Amino acid sequence: MGVLRFVLGDQLSRELSSLRDLEDGDVVFMCEVADEANYVRHHQRKIAFLFSAMRHFAEDLRSRDVVVDYVALNDDKNAGSFTEELKRAVRRHEPERVVVTEPGEWRVLQMMKDWREELGCEVEIRPDDRFLCDHETFDEWAEGSRELRQEYFYREMRRRTGFLMDGDEPAGGKWNYDHSNREPLKKAITAPERPNYSVDETTEAVLDLVAKRFGNHFGSLENFDYPVTRRQALHYLRWFVDEALPDFGTYQDAMRQGSPLLFHSHISALLNCGLLDPKEICDRAEDAYREGHAPINAVEGFIRQIIGWREFIRGVYWREMPDYASSNKLLAQRKLPDFFWTGETDLNCLRQSFKEVRESAYNHHIQRLMVIGNFCLLCGFDPREVQEWYLVVYHDAYEWVEMPNVVGMILYADGGLFASKPYAASANYIDKMSDYCGDCTFSPKKKTGEGACPFNVLYWDFIARNKERLKGNPRLNRTYATLERMNEEKVKTSRKEARAFLDGLVATGDY
């Protein structure tokens, strides 16, 4: 036969580099394997989403007269790993060569590099050009820099792509409208009603399979209504641009109990698995601005998340691996407590976030960074445990996007490679940007003593215990000046209460 083209579960794009020159006689190979579902105990909903999206993508290819060899997880002879299943496929089809698109994760690339020897035939690994910045371009931009700043990379990406540019100048006269995107949500403002997508026979079969094989994994499969096809993904994108994008910018940092999505796009999982393309997403958003449907602060903030942050994070990952995974500049060692899995905590902001991620495999970026992430930073949780948790629970999480966000942005474990300071905050931030504190056991206004929010004492404990590592950071000069002016007894009380709280965290590791 001709070429065997191996497509991974996060490569569900007809424009994939390994599919671009399909010819008669070629076979597209896809497989669901236990190793990938179990190398961390992924959220049940994430596994179901990917398996369903993969099966629908295979059917879409078949409808276009493409020959697809698809191995389902419950196929009798499924060997359970990419390598072993690819060996079986090579034996079945005897291709002249195998063509793959480079994977998103470093560990899978190491597998691919061994395939030529293991398969006994030529293996061609093509670049993943679904991204707008290739590895060489990022490395060239970053070369010689001790610190990488996303804002400068983002401006370069605006110039390279032309998004939101008026000639040589940024649309609206500014590169960044983040100052307009930090409003708390007024009570009278309601989020638009979202579309939901009915479960067809293919998805129903996947849900049954996941419930049987992975029912002991974190998360829930109830009320599954997420897009799983290219057509549904495009519909969801159109809905977002029409209904939610206009208010996205202003309220993107806001949080409301019982309203997990608000004006967020919720398309990151669709983008990261290939059902949507970054360029088409940005094109639609920019069109909304040019046509007067959405304001510049909303569209700029949204496009920045894609061509700025997403592309930047990927560049950091591939430039810094494999050593980046073990970064721990703040020497954090505390074990992750059980309530990260059970959700059973008196801290309402955490309880709400854990409830939402259990139900949907999703939190928006402020919950991830300034609620859960901030708590992890203040408590000094082991970066490897935090990385695994984020990889497990979110349906848009792959190591290339999860690891730099956790290591660099959330935990400052890389010592400031790209974050200019640790994103540590007391209870005041959460109180300002959400309604969580009104239903909480603790008061954000109390700094110490009975009923005081643990975020307050944890904040000053974090600042004090990391003084030698962080005091030289110019963005923390005022913070450390405040610490030095604080009453010594007040500091001791804060630290004593912080230690009591931390010592009371239960971490059995049974989850």
Going across the sheet that includes 97-101, the strands are 68-71, 27-31, 3-6, 97-101, 122-126
SS (H, E, C) 94-140: CCCEEEEECCCCHHHHHHHHHHHHHHCCEEEEECCCCCCCCHHHHHH
| Same domain, yes or no: 139 and 193 | yes
Give tens-digit pLDDT for 74-87: 999 999 999 999 99
Q: Which residues contact 364 (CB under 8 A, 6 or more apart)?
A: 252, 255, 260, 261, 262, 264
Q: Among residues of the chain, what percentage have pLDDT more than 90?
A: 96
Q: What does pLDDT average to over the chain?
A: 96
Spatial distance between the Cα atoms of 336 and 475, rounded to a whole number of angstroms: 28
| Same domain, yes or no: 437 and 376 | yes
Any domain includes 328: no
| Same domain, yes or no: 75 and 158 | no
| Same domain, yes or no: 118 and 160 | no
What pLDDT is stored for residue 20 in this prediction? Answer: 94
Q: Among residues of the chain, what percentage have pLDDT more than 70?
A: 100
Domain span at residue 484 reads: 339-503
Give tens-digit pLDDT for 112-136: 999 999 998 999 999 999 999 999 9
3, containing H or E segment: strand 3-6
Any domain includes 477: yes
Give tens-digit pLDDT for 39-75: 999 999 999 999 999 999 999 999 999 999 999 999 9
Question: Domain end: 320, 354, 385, which one?
Answer: 320
Give tens-digit pLDDT for 340-371: 999 999 999 999 999 999 999 999 999 999 99
For residue 105, the domain's CATH number is 3.40.50.620
> Is pTM, for the whole model, over 0.85?
yes
Any domain includes 209: no
CA-CA distances (angstroms) from residue 266 to 44, 229, 322, 338, 459? Answer: 18, 15, 30, 27, 31
Q: What is the mean pLDDT of residues 295-320?
A: 98
When comparing pLDDT for 210 and 510, which is higher? 210
pLDDT-derived band at 146 (thresholds 50, 70, 90) equals confident
- Residue 308: is its pLDDT beyond 90? yes
